[in-house]
Structure 1
Amino acid sequence: MSNKGRIPSLTPCVGRCSTVFGDSVCRGCRRFNHEVIQWNTYTAEQHLAVWKRLDAQLDQILVPMLPFAQLKHVEGFILGKRVRLLENASKGRKLYYALKICEKNRALAGESGLGIHAKQVKPLWDEFERRVLALATASYDLAWLRADGIHHNLLKIVEEKENLHIPISL
């Protein structure tokens, strides 16, 4: 899918940020709160890492939820709606944009390529949001637990070295 003449999205933000209300994971874009806050300081590699995690979540949730979607048709649909899309966007990301368009205007469901009817859009969107937020929150919790475990292990190593009077080098 060619995006010539289009400006790639600079951020996954969808304009519904809940991190300002204290959420650890944004209910809109599903980035972690520190990613939202520090996004403009990230390198291209850091941006890509976040995009990949978010796209993997969309793939995991939306691809099975939309088994009759025709990707080429979906790509044409979102291109026709002038959606800005990164060149390496996943299948789940493309399905997400098409479903988001249909959520705003259910009458477009038939032409979206998603293989759904207008009456299926709202319940599908609601279930998608529930599942993807649960997955994003679990991802955050796991990352926090890993970081906390690393922190405790490092503290233990430092304490052991201090007790043995061994110089600490990191």
Structure 2
Amino acid sequence: MTKAAVKTPCIGICSTTSVGDPICRGCKRFAFEVIDWNAYSEQEKLAVLQRIEALVQPIVEARFIIRNSQELAAGLKRQAVPCNPDMSPASWLHSLLKKRHRQIQSLAEYGVDVREEWQHLTLAELAEDMDVQLLRLCEAHRVRYFPELMS
């Protein structure tokens, strides 16, 4: 039996191709990774996913408790947000909040709680805060490991 191909982390908010951003506001891939994704080997795709995971997971886990990943996956399906099985529930939650935070009444319906120290923020504020932090980390990674891409 052959292992399934690595799926794209795209959530349908591509700012690299639509706006020309160097880092996608949706999936957090670099523009060249979005453009070259289909030419990447499975190992290269996994390396991209692992980098994104390493950045997303601690930021999400500092703010949220994922009690039930099956409920979260079902919630993403209800909201028509891609749920990449190669990525962690923390990445799924990031994608859900990035794409649909305005449609969510209660995260409890998704098997998720907001940690006490973050409960003073709205979901929109939490989503924005996470996004700002992630884009800063992605930019630092790009500067450090891909200096030749700096304009």
TM-score (norm 1): 0.67
Query: Which residue matches 1:42?
Result: 40
Query: Which residue matches 1:15?
Result: 12
RCO (CA 8 Å, sep 6+): is it higher in 1 or 2? 2
Determine the C-alpha separation between the residues in 2 that align with 1:18 and 1:142: 22
- Number of residue-to-residue matches in the alignment: 137
Determine the C-alpha separation between the residues in 2 that align with 1:101 and 1:41: 27
Query: Which residue matches 1:139?
Result: 141
- For 2:101, give the aligned amino acid: E
Deviations 1:53-102 (A, max 9, x none): 11111112111122xx133x243232354265344422421332453475
Question: Compared with structure 1, are the counterparts of its residues 37 and 81 closer, same or farther at alpha carbon in structure 2 (3 Å cutoff)?
Answer: closer
Q: Are positions 1:79 and 2:79 aligned together?
A: no
- For 1:32, give the aligned amino acid: F
Pairwise CA distance, 1:38: 0.5
Query: Which residue matches 1:24?
Result: 22
Q: Which runs of 5+ in 1 are unaligned?
A: 1-6, 149-170
Pairwise CA distance, 1:120: 2.4
Determine the C-alpha separation between the residues in 1 that align with 2:82 and 2:12: 15
Deviations 1:111-159 (A, max 9, x none): 1222137x721111111111111111111111123x69xxxxxxxxxxx
Which of 52, 55, 58 is the matching residue for 1:57?
55
Over alpha carbons, which structure has the higher Rg?
Answer: 1
Runs of 4+ in 1 over 3 A off after TM superposition: 83-88, 97-102
Which of 61, 66, 70 is the matching residue for 1:70?
66
